Chains A and B, each alone.
Chain A
């Protein structure tokens, strides 16, 4: 019997967690960018400018809802929903401590990878239904890119699953505690790199932001969206960034565990540790975003099919050999 009230409470907590994660990453991205460019960034909005995400959200809510005439109405209006739904689904399985998790599925990793592929549909339909050639080009580029980078993402995680002998995320963290070293140091370093690169491509951030391609396509598939619909895409992007960094720190960096602290209080320090590791990875992603130019579409595909997939397969081979031998 499903207890509706417990489901609602869990969903509420997950929602709050997701929004906070998006806000933290927005601040990291925008303020971090301004500091790297030797300027103060948003300054007059709140306390030294740090509450600007709130101002942005309010700003988007009060904008006019512009729907161009030639668009395919139903598809145009529902495209942001697909992206948001697929990102929300990821928050359920990530554990912030051994007992505090939305629902610890036995097929945790499999569920993660399957749900994250749904956003491709949202992006493609967003580009197609805006009756605009530039959006169309952005949408098609996005479809190619997202589908191409699914494979390195999956193959990189397969190495971790082989080493941990379980697909549940709590189980993977327990395995790392047993080993003593997080997986990135005990044999999955290459998989970690491949995962981060593929995750950056899945989020469509520079250096892989051809679909958005600011200086060419003025927002690509997002061009015709304004107001709340744009806000949904925007927040979904940062939530996606947060959750993929959280998944990476769970799978590779040891999740909520830190070697020297006592195990009884893990419910208290677990979330803090996980968020610290996530923010650290997010900071590296922000640094990469503001220092790299963007790849051209065919170079992007080259990178995925000719470089990352063979390396990921090599990683699986080595991991399975080591697993059998030891």
Chain B
């Protein structure tokens, strides 16, 4: 014979769930799912797309990133400088020097196409997200600011096998 297990009517079960939720929130034993934001920071995954960092020395202003950006938010200007030849009597080499490399984060879609197509390892993603400004014009990060983000690029993490 099937054991008769009396079930609470629906709304009482709901009230019981909420009561237990309240006890869980008040008890110091269960983990707090909330992050008290300005005082505690959220820990994001290392791969999270926060902001793009630029390694100036690696960039050759090939313009691939500026061309592939769907929003055209990267502004690059550069010029060529003549360098002394490698061997005496050889041809003069030229080197591209970057004048201006701005990323406008007010337009940026955080898609990552620029980081992916760069053939010279000049752009990196970092998970930094606290760069809001009061003024829309300040959202255009110039060369030096993008350089500073390089400190926050995380280490390459291990993979699942």
Contacts and interface: CB of A to CB of B under 8 A. Distances in A.
Q: CB–CB under 8 A between A and B in the complex?
A: yes
Interface of A: 32, 35-40, 43, 287-288, 290-292
Contacts, number: 34
Interface in B2-52: 11, 14-15, 17-19, 21-22, 24-26, 33-34, 36
Contact of B21 (A35, A40, A288, A292): A35
A292 B9 CA distance: 13
A37 B36 CA distance: 16
B33 A38 contact: yes
Contacts of B14: 291-292
Interface of B: 11, 14-15, 17-19, 21-22, 24-26, 33-34, 36
Nearest to A290: B18
Contacts of A291: 11, 14-15, 17-18
Nearest to A39: B34
Contact of B24 (A38, A288, A290, A292): A38
A315 B34 CA distance: 48
Given A39-B34, A40-B34, A288 B25 contact: no
A38 B36 CA distance: 13
A171 to B, nearest CB: 35
7 contacts: A35-B21, A35-B25, A35-B26, A38-B21, A38-B25, A288-B15, A292-B11
B46 to A, nearest CB: 27
Closest 8 CB pairs of A and B: A291-B14, A35-B22, A35-B25, A36-B18, A36-B22, A291-B18, A287-B15, A36-B21
The SS class assigned to the B binding surface is helix
A35 B18 CA distance: 9
B18 A43 contact: no
B34 A287 contact: no
Nearest to B26: A35
B28 to A, nearest CB: 13
A290 B22 CA distance: 12
A176 to B, nearest CB: 27
Contacts of B24: 38
Contacts of B22: 32, 35-36
Nearest to B30: A38
Nearest to A41: B25
Contacts of B33: 38
Contact of A43 (B11, B15, B36): B36
A20 to B, nearest CB: 23
A38 B25 CA distance: 5
A40 B35 CA distance: 10
B107 to A, nearest CB: 34
Given A40-B34, A43-B36, A287 B25 contact: no
The winner among A32, A36, A39 for most chain B CB atoms within 10 A is A36
Contacts of A40: 25, 34, 36
Contacts of A38: 21, 24-25, 33-34
